[in-house]
Amino acid sequence: MTWLRALVAFAIVSFALVLQVSLFPHLAWHGVVPNLCLLVVVGAALTRGPQFAMVLGFAAGVALDLAPPADHLAGRWALALVVVGYVAGQVRQGSRGDSRPASGTVLATVAASSFVGTSVFALSGVVLGDPIAIPELLEVIVGALLWDLLLTPLVLPPVMALFRRLEPALAHMNG
């Protein structure tokens, strides 16, 4: 059963990844697309806590790093999404008591996670010596943040409902 849950979680991530790569470039603003994988990780963190979200973030990050057309050093998105899972998971732990976070909390978490995720990825590139211009970097971070916030009302409720259904007993106990 645990394997089945892991499989379903990874299927959600894969679906998000494929949409991100094949559908959203058609709607992209300067090549910036909503980071659906990040939204899924945030959704997992808000329903299931940091441990699960970090593991899922690692898996989603590795998928983002390896699936075509990725060409950057593998492990960079994994690192960014592990940190996102941790940060978003802290929000859930902080608001222990009410099982469903308020929509304002969700939006704030998505904003913080998007900022942290894109920044960690970009900074890892700067550390590794990628030629990244700072104005472009800021533009991408802000653009990604707006995109992620825009998609939050569409993506987060079904994702969170799904993760809640995957583990109803545990979500209830922890939430």
Partner 1 sequence: MRERRWRGPEGPKSPVALLVALVLASFCLMTLDSTAGGPVDSARRAAGEVFGPVEVATATAVRPFTAVPHWFRSKDDMQQDLIALQAENSRLKSDLATHDYDKNRLEEYDGLTAAARSLGTSLVPARVVGMGSSQSFSRTVTIDAGSDAGIRPDLTVLDNDGLVGRVLRVTHTTATVLLIVDANSVVGARVGRSMQVGLLHGRGALGTDGRLDLELVDQTAVPSEGDAVVTWGSEAGGPYVSGVPIGKVTHVYSSVRETTQRAVIDPYVDFGALDLVGVVVPSGTASDRAVIEANGTLR
Smallest distance, partner 1 to C-beta of residue 162, A: 17
Smallest distance, partner 1 to C-beta of residue 18, A: 5
Residue 163, interface with partner 1 (CB under 8 A)? no
Of 46, 121, 155, 166, which one interacts with partner 1 (CB under 8 A)? 121
The footprint of partner 1 on residues 35-74 (CB under 8 A) is 35, 48-52, 54-55, 57-58, 61-74
Residue 14, interface with partner 1 (CB under 8 A)? yes
Of 7, 11, 136, 138, which one interacts with partner 1 (CB under 8 A)? 136
Beta bridge partners of 32: 29
Residue 7, interface with partner 1 (CB under 8 A)? no
**Secondary structure of the chain in HEC code, one letter for each residue:** CHHHHHHHHHHHHHHHHHHHHHHHHHHCECCECCCHHHHHHHHHHHHHCHHHHHHHHHHHHHHHHHCCCCCCCCCHHHHHHHHHHHHHHHHHHHCCCCCCCCHHHHHHHHHHHHHHHHHHHHHHHHHCCCCCCHHHHHHHHHHHHHHHHHHHHHHHHHHHHHHHHHCHHHHHHHC
Residue 25, interface with partner 1 (CB under 8 A)? yes
Smallest distance, partner 1 to C-beta of residue 149, A: 15
Residue 77, interface with partner 1 (CB under 8 A)? yes
Taking alpha carbons only, the member of 126, 123, 130, 152 closest to residue 38 is 152
Residue 1, interface with partner 1 (CB under 8 A)? no
CA-to-CA distance for 99 and 169, rounded, in angstroms?
A: 12
Name the residues that contact partner 1, by CB under 8 A. Answer: 14, 17-28, 30-33, 35, 48-52, 54-55, 57-58, 61-79, 82-83, 86, 89, 118, 121-122, 124-125, 128, 130-133, 136-137, 140, 143-144, 167, 170, 174
